[in-house]
Amino acid sequence: MKKEFKEALEDSPIIAAIKDDEGLKKCVTSDSRVIFILYGDILTIPDIIDAIKNAGKLAMVHIDLITGLSSKEITVDFLKKYTRADGIITTKPNLIKRAKELDFHTILRVFLLDSMAYENIDRQVKSAKPDVIEVLPALMPKIVSKVCKLSPAPVIAGGLVSEKEDVMTLLQAGAISISSTNENVWFL
């Protein structure tokens, strides 16, 4: 993982994850140095990224959630050529691999719904080699702690975080940062 990205995550224990234009307006005033973009389409994503970059923040695009983009590697090429994105978030290891080839920061998002999903983390991380993994839902500190010990990549915990106590518990469990769409959490 590049030094700039790692330092931004360590310096920003709370990551603003934005899901609409209102969140975009608010996130640029937050202390979050890294912003997760969870909305937009092929026409609006360059402007969303520019707003974040103009605020001096790192723009991480959740590529799976952008309307008009596919799960093919060419999507990563599009972001590299036509936007100022710093990296991607995805559930798809093949997109992580392509993003790394293009010198993007990478976050592999994993949903821990059951023991099978937990057991697949090791295989996915070894295969894709993301810079960071994001575990959802976050409100399982014991599981987050186990994932942190299992994973060679740093762990971000996200999903359903709404209180300062949640943030503190997850950071104590070993997460490098906490991502949240809850605007109140951004300003804790």
Domain containing residue 142: CATH number: 3.20.20.70
Domain containing 26 equals 3-186
Average pLDDT over residues 59-69: 97
What is the number of structural domains in the chain? 1
- The angle that helices 115-128 and 141-150 make with each other, rounded to 10 degrees, is 30
CA-closest candidate to residue 133, choices 174, 166, 78: 174
Rounded to 5 degrees, what are φ and ψ at 136? -130, 145
Average pLDDT over residues 166-179: 96
Alpha-carbon distance of 63 to 69, in angstroms, equals 7
**Confidence band (pLDDT; 50, 70, 90) for 85?**
very high
pTM of the model as a whole: 0.95
